[in-house]
A = this chain, B = another copy of it.
Amino acid sequence: MTEKDNLHNLRHSLAHLLAAAVLDIYPKALPTIGPSIDNGFYYDFDNLEVSDKDLQKIEQKMREILKSWKEFSYKEVSANDAKKVYENNPYKIELIDEIVSKKEKITLYTCGSFTDLCRGGHLENPAKEIESGSFKLDRVAGAYWRGNEKNKMLTRIYGLAFGTKDELNAYILQKEEAEKRDHKKLGRELDLFIIDSKVGKGLPLWTPKGTAIKFALENFARELERKYDYEHVETPYLGAEELYRTSGHLDHYAHNMYAPIDMDGEKFYLRPMACPHHIRMYQRRPWSYKELPVRYAEIADYNRYEKSGELMGMIRVRKFQLTDGHLFVAPEGLKEEFKLVCNMIVEGMKGLGLIDVVSYRFSKRDPKNKEKYYPDDKLWNHAEGLMKEALDELGLPYVEVEDEAAFYGPKLDVQAKNVNGKEDTLFTAQIDFLLPEKFEIEYVDRDGKKKRPVMIHRSTIGSLERVCGFLIEHYAGAFPLWLSPVQIKVIPIRENHNAFAKEVADALKGENIRVKLDDSDEGLGKKVRAAKVDKIPYWLVIGDKEIAEGKVTLESRDKGALGLFDIESLKQLLKKEIEERI
């Protein structure tokens, strides 16, 4: 038996134990189903009213019963006999009918004095095999019978369970850390963004502090784009029907799009992607091979249909801004250009401090999956071969994955591991031979003939919403100086220090440093604590001594007390750290 099976059996046994304990305390509760899950187990009950504060009592009862659970036994029974056992439990009756309809055997498993309708999969001797500290009841939640919202809402009790007590504790610790870093929680506490029911679900609003981060990210992306010779454009978030008819989005991607808006008899769509707009930008004039590659970058508005239930903070939203870009490349320049794109991505991830948590996934088609991919074997082989060469020549560490490509070509996915250890795609770079065909994009080659360029779709640092959510969790809200909404707080000790403090604050503001003067009536201790709670990277304390010397006392969130600084050295220190993004 594998370790995984064993863990499943342990968790499943604990689900039985939970049901036994609940029925012992609440005899009128109706047990329904109780499977093992990723981090433990749950059991759903009807006719049970409990809250989180009852969990300790139930858990205690579980530990008590566990001592006597030395063996699981089972017997096969007829449908009639089984229904007799559960004559007052319509849920189990429904399950029995289902088993009968599938022509499977009906089995009842018993341990101690508790019997449950079950397919099996338990530990042989729970009392011996379950370490007493290795499980813990977690929380109470509501859940519809069979997950269908038309059915009755049942009471679900979740438990955590691992092989050992140490494993459980490690898991709890990691979960607590993840919760502390949760971008929705920190976003609220640090006042970075709000999601407002009146404005609408899935539509975050960036507060002044959040907007400071957004602007810093925008500047970072645009600086990088300028360095790599992109031209910035700005295009509208709406597009006429013909545009998305030509691109094929309305044929292949309509399920991710919102319904159109009528404007004087023409249909307009909130755009799901900006490629068609950049293509039309390219097509505004003829191009010579000498001018290629043409590289357009835009912080582009995107709109994607997401179900209400799947929205999540800044990570899954209905409208976002992608640091987007499209390149029009002569076929012979494609590999070198793709390498430049990769270099730029690596430089971006370094700049954001994420280089150690991102990995690269080379997503290819599955040649057998004919429906999912644009049917042209030669093009696919060429594009995949070329992308692989580029990645190998750069020495970029990557994994190859089949059947994850886009419809029109292979992708490089920039994967990031979040605080829960879960890997998510931050953004991608893709090679595309198809849209140039559909839009009949051209350039004039050396021989005077019209040729078709290849497109690369790529992002610089992903969507501002997603990368900001990710950065909040990555830094647990303690951003590096260049990203911090407030970079330094100026704290006068008493009222008579306010004037000099304001002078210092104004001097820093003049250097475009985001400074906040705390001239409130609070005491020094409280002011410093507030700076720490807000995770501000630096604060200055100004009192009699500082005024006498014309200097300030600098403290750092990360490095502690730094001593006295004159204003000029302070400016230099901050400006250097901001410019170098360290």
A residues near B (Cβ < 8 Å) are 191, 194, 196-208, 210-212, 214-215, 231-240, 242-243, 246, 258-259, 261-264, 266, 268, 270, 276-277, 280-281, 284-285, 296, 301, 305, 307-308, 318-319
Q: Are B234 and A211 in contact (CB under 8 A)?
A: yes
- Chain B's closest residue to A283 (CB) is B196
Q: Are B234 and A206 in contact (CB under 8 A)?
A: yes
Q: Are B263 and A198 in contact (CB under 8 A)?
A: no
3 tightest A-B CB contacts, nearest first: A200-B240, A208-B231, A206-B234
Partner of A208, one of B233, B242, B264: B233
Q: Are A235 and B199 in contact (CB under 8 A)?
A: yes
Q: Are A266 and B205 in contact (CB under 8 A)?
A: no
Q: Are A196 and B284 in contact (CB under 8 A)?
A: yes
Chosen A-B contacts, 11 in total, with CB atoms closer than 8 Å, are A194-B280, A198-B242, A198-B280, A203-B236, A205-B233, A205-B234, A208-B232, A211-B231, A211-B233, A238-B319, A259-B262
In the assembly, what is the distance between CA of A206 and CA of B268, in Å? 19
Known: A204-B236, A232-B211, A235-B199. A263 touches B305 (CB 8 A): yes
Other A-B pairs, 20, CB within 8 Å; known A194-B280, A199-B277: A196-B280, A196-B284, A197-B240, A198-B242, A198-B243, A201-B263, A201-B266, A203-B236, A205-B236, A205-B277, A205-B281, A206-B234, A206-B235, A208-B232, A208-B233, A211-B234, A237-B319, A261-B261, A261-B270, A266-B308
If over half of A's interface residues share one DSSP class (helix, strand or loop), that class is named, otherwise mixed; here it is: mixed
The smallest C-beta distance from A298 to any residue of chain B, in angstroms, reads 8
In the assembly, what is the distance between CA of A243 and CA of B200, in Å? 8
Q: Are A240 and B207 in contact (CB under 8 A)?
A: no
In the assembly, what is the distance between CA of A285 and CA of B207, in Å? 11
Q: Are A194 and B281 in contact (CB under 8 A)?
A: yes
In the assembly, what is the distance between CA of A238 and CA of B307, in Å? 16
Chain B residue contacts of A231, Cβ below 8 A: 208, 211
Chain B residue contacts of A285, Cβ below 8 A: 191
In the assembly, what is the distance between CA of A271 and CA of B239, in Å? 17
Q: Are A203 and B307 in contact (CB under 8 A)?
A: no
In the assembly, what is the distance between CA of A201 and CA of B240, in Å? 8
Q: Are A200 and B237 in contact (CB under 8 A)?
A: no
Q: Are B235 and A205 in contact (CB under 8 A)?
A: yes
- Chain B's closest residue to A319 (CB) is B236
Q: Are B234 and A214 in contact (CB under 8 A)?
A: yes
The smallest C-beta distance from A416 to any residue of chain B, in angstroms, reads 23
Chain B residue contacts of A239, Cβ below 8 A: 199-200, 203
Chain B residue contacts of A215, Cβ below 8 A: 232
Chain B residue contacts of A199, Cβ below 8 A: 235-236, 239-240, 243, 276-277, 280
Q: Are B232 and A284 in contact (CB under 8 A)?
A: no
In the assembly, what is the distance between CA of A307 and CA of B263, in Å? 8
In the assembly, what is the distance between CA of A358 and CA of B201, in Å? 42
- Chain B's closest residue to A204 (CB) is B236
The smallest C-beta distance from A140 to any residue of chain B, in angstroms, reads 27
The smallest C-beta distance from A97 to any residue of chain B, in angstroms, reads 34
Chain B residue contacts of A205, Cβ below 8 A: 233-236, 277, 280-281
- Chain B's closest residue to A270 (CB) is B261
The smallest C-beta distance from A559 to any residue of chain B, in angstroms, reads 29
In the assembly, what is the distance between CA of A33 and CA of B308, in Å? 61
Chain B residue contacts of A240, Cβ below 8 A: 197-201
Which of A203, A234, A240 has its CB near the most chain B CB atoms (within 10 A)?
Answer: A234
In the assembly, what is the distance between CA of A515 and CA of B8, in Å? 66
Chain B residue contacts of A284, Cβ below 8 A: 191, 194, 196, 207
Partner of A238, one of B200, B276, B277, B296: B200
The smallest C-beta distance from A393 to any residue of chain B, in angstroms, reads 27
Chain B residue contacts of A262, Cβ below 8 A: 259
In the assembly, what is the distance between CA of A197 and CA of B276, in Å? 12
Q: Are B235 and A301 in contact (CB under 8 A)?
A: no
Q: Are A259 and B258 in contact (CB under 8 A)?
A: no
The smallest C-beta distance from A82 to any residue of chain B, in angstroms, reads 41
Chain B residue contacts of A196, Cβ below 8 A: 280, 284
